[in-house]
A and B are shown apart, each in its own frame.
Chain A
Amino acid sequence: MIAFVIRRLVQSVFVMLAVAFVAFALFNYVGDPINNIVGQDTSLEDRERLRQELGLNDPFPVQFARFVGNAVRGEFGMSYQHARPVSHVILERLPATLELSFVAAALALLIGVPMGIYTGLHRHSALSQVFLTVSLIGVSLPTFLIGILLILIFAVLLGWLPSFGRGTTIAFGWWTTGLLTKEGIRALILPAVTLCLFQMTLIMRLVRAEMLEVLRTDYIKFARARGLPDRIVNFGHALKNTLVPVITITGLQLGSVIAFAVVTETVFSWPGVGLMFIQAVTAVDIPVMAAYLVLVAFFFVVINLVVDLLYYIVDPRLRIERAGAAHVG
């Protein structure tokens, strides 16, 4: 167990280093960083002095090491666009994205898993057919289109919900939340639904497929033959066996929910890091772009790690080391 965690941690560090390298390359080789900092009228000597001061003449490995060292401390330099440290800009924007992503992921799980179980258990019912048909739409419509459609219906035509922004937020230190005010929650509904729809249908289809698979296994047949009630067979034995693949996909999906919040945030002008990234791209704000890259990679790595640990909790075949598997005839 410990060895496994350490191995995974080391792997994660390498992944992060690779991403940091890309971000660093972006930072150094897309345009001249000095040009981005100083004005047109700065003399060549001044530029060279600044270059020396900023360490841009140092050998490549030294510069990269410095970049990584700063990144670890959350320092990504100054945003060209906002003229403030990138870390401040990100911290200010992060709560909006995390809140949106987690609400969307929670919705996707809370609705997708029960729908998957239902359609798996009642394969031929009319409601299952409805779920499956609707889910096809969810899978095939692009997110931005869903967002625009929802805005059209609920914001423009019906006027029930706001179509942009976060509504009213309450601050706790650096964290801001919209979950505690009515306006905040109303503003969250459309973007969260938009973001969760694809994940929800994916999770539903996955759970359904896994349920069908597991229900055919011998141990489910044997569980029924032992006279266990359907409730225990379906939810105790079958559901638990579908969890491993569901955890994997859900975990990976949470990563992509955070990453792809970019689209939803743009459609709904949601003031999160996704929108910040799009604005940074437009303004060629390289430090912000680099930081965003590293941040998203960091989320992916952390989520992957958590997913692997959950496997261990769910599946005893992984948990118990080989040596313990005594084979006595």
Chain B
Amino acid sequence: MTPLLEVSRLRVEFATRRGPLVAVDDISFTIAPGEVLGVVGESGAGKSLTGAAIIGLLEPPGRIAGGEIRLAGRRIDNLPPEEMRRIRGREIGAIFQDPLTSLNPLYTVGRQLVETIRVHSSLGGREAREHALQLLKEVGIPAAEQRIDQYPHQFSGGMRQRVVIALALAANPRLIIADEPTTALDVSIQAQIIALLKRLCREHGTSVMLVTHDMGVIAETADRVAVMYAGRIVEIGPVWEVVHAPQHPYTVGLMGSIPILGETRERLVQIEGAMPRLTAIPPGCPFNPRCPHVFDRCRSERPELVPAGASRAACWLHLGAERPVHA
């Protein structure tokens, strides 16, 4: 199947006085129609920047310094701003880190829905409102007829997140980028929201790039997983394999504490040491200072993604020899 989203050799840099900082370094991945790609990795790994690059909302001084992004075969990383604007919302929707602050406090949720719908369609005011109402019902807002004329502060966190999902889906995009959509919510509500997102995207055939810290959510929701470290993808593969047979030593460390599904949802367990700062990424494999299996080559040469088990991993352990690295 031709991929819906195709990111190849994407590089995101920040121009600084001391030269460019490379925050996303040469990453490639695809998302198929209807597929959910989970993206995990420590804070600062470059997950959000990758998402922002895809929807064309990198904030200066950040910029795409190399590579290509294609949506359904069409190159979108170098479009004029106005054309990229038409793609946002209509082709690619986004849900950001903090749903609580994603809604404009001065407008009713209905108004925000209607304006989004009308920007992307030729519906009149009345039809757009009908559609908005229907969306609110679809995301499970009770008494939607009354709620539509209320302001964001009159909704609880979970309800606001449902509204955000309705907004992201308003123009029925083909891809949703959900950047830690539940991090800011109560644990008890997180599962509901993820379930809602999963159901709606399945019904609409929407692909999802789901960024999260929560391995439990990944295991339940994603079809494939990409593991990011210091701006690179260190492992990518089918969810079951990555979770149960991790191939990269970093992923092995991450999976050290897979939560029992539905029960404790722990944050990623800390691996000894910390991810390097962008200014101090070591040569070779960026994980080498923390890696229990490190050898000479890791310190001098950068590994590319190579087949490893059912996944692909960027690790010299997997070059040629099919040596498993279960810890």
Residues of A within 8 A of B170 (CB): 226
Does B164 belong to the interface (CB within 8 Å)? Answer: yes
Q: Does A15 contact B (CB under 8 A)?
A: no
Residues of B contacting A10 with CB < 8 Å? none
Binary interface encoding of chain A residues 315-327 relative to chain B, with 1 for a CB under 8 A from any of its CBs, else 0: 1110010001111
Checking B85, B88, B156 against A327 with a beta-carbon cut-off of 8 angstroms, the contacting residue is B156
Whether, in the assembled complex, B297 has its beta carbon less than 8 Å from a beta carbon of chain A, the answer is no
Query: Of B55, B57, B142, B151, which contacts A320 at CB under 8 A?
Result: B151
Q: Are B86 and A227 in contact (CB under 8 A)?
A: yes
Residues of B within 8 A of A226 (CB): 88-89, 93-94, 116, 119, 167-168, 170
Interface stretch, picked from B17-25, B99-107, B299-307, is B99-107
With an 8 A cutoff between CB atoms, is A4 at the interface? no
A320, B154: Cβ atoms under 8 Å?
yes
Render B116-158 as a binary contact track against A, CB cut-off 8 A, 1 for contact.
1001100000000000000000000010000000010111101
Question: Which residues from 287 to 329 on chain A have a C-beta closer than 8 Å to any C-beta of chain B?
Answer: 314-317, 320, 324-329
- In the assembled complex, the Cα of A139 lies from the Cα of B109 at a distance in Å of 41
Known A224-B57, A314-B106: A325·B153 in contact at CB below 8 Å: yes
Name the segment of A86-94, A195-203, A214-222, A248-256 touching the other chain: A214-222
B79 surroundings in chain A (CB, below 8 A): none
CB pair B104 A241 closer than 8 Å: yes
**B90 part of interface (Cβ distance < 8 Å):** yes
Residues 179-227 (chain B) with a chain A CB within 8 angstroms:
186, 188-189
Which residues of B (39-93) have their CB < 8 Å from a CB of A? 55, 57, 85-90, 93
B96 contacts which chain A residues (CB < 8 A)? 218, 221-222, 225
Q: For the complex, what is the distance from the CA of A223 to the CA of B170, rounded to whole Å?
A: 13
Given A218-B101, A219-B104, A317-B151, CB of A225 within 8 Å of CB of B57 = yes
What residue of chain B has the Cβ atom nearest to residue A315's Cβ?
A: B106
A221, A230, A315 — most chain B CB neighbours (10 Å): A221
Q: How far is the CA of A224 from the CA of B159 in the complex (A)?
A: 21
Tell me if B171 is interfacial: C-beta within 8 Å of chain A. yes
| A237 interface contact, C-beta 8 A | yes
* Chain A 184-200 per-residue mask, 1 if CB under 8 angstroms from chain B, else 0: 00000000000000000
Give the contacts of A117-151 with B (CB-CB under 8 A). none
* Nearest-Cβ distance from residue B310 to partner chain A, whole angstroms: 34
B98 proximal to A (CB < 8 A): yes
- Say yes or no: is A229 at the interface (Cβ < 8 Å to chain B): yes
Q: Which residues of B contact A229 (CB under 8 A)?
A: 85, 119
Which of A219, A224, A324 is in CB contact (< 8 Å) with B103? A219
CA distance A257 to B165 in the complex (A): 48
Q: Which residues of A contact B101 (CB under 8 A)?
A: 217-219
A225 touches B104 (CB 8 A): no
B241 close to A (CB within 8 Å): no
B89 touches A227 (CB 8 A): yes
**Minimum Cβ distance to chain A for residue B59 (Å):** 9
In the bound complex, what is the Cα–Cα distance between A240 and B108 (angstroms)?
Answer: 13
* Residues of chain B within 8 A of A317, CB atoms compared: 105, 151, 153
Residues of chain A lying within 8 A (CB to CB) of residue B159: 328-329
B: residues with CB less than 8 A from A are 55, 57, 85-90, 93-94, 96-98, 101-108, 115-116, 119-120, 142, 151, 153-156, 158-159, 164, 167-168, 170-171, 186, 188-189
27 contacts between A and B (CB under 8 A): A219-B103, A219-B104, A221-B96, A222-B94, A223-B104, A224-B57, A224-B85, A225-B55, A226-B116, A226-B119, A226-B170, A227-B90, A227-B119, A228-B115, A229-B119, A232-B115, A232-B119, A240-B106, A241-B104, A241-B105, A241-B106, A317-B153, A325-B153, A326-B154, A327-B156, A328-B156, A329-B158
A219-B103, A221-B102 known; 16 new pairs, CB 8 Å cut-off, are A218-B98, A222-B164, A223-B104, A224-B57, A225-B89, A226-B89, A226-B93, A226-B116, A228-B89, A228-B119, A236-B115, A241-B106, A315-B105, A325-B154, A329-B186, A329-B189
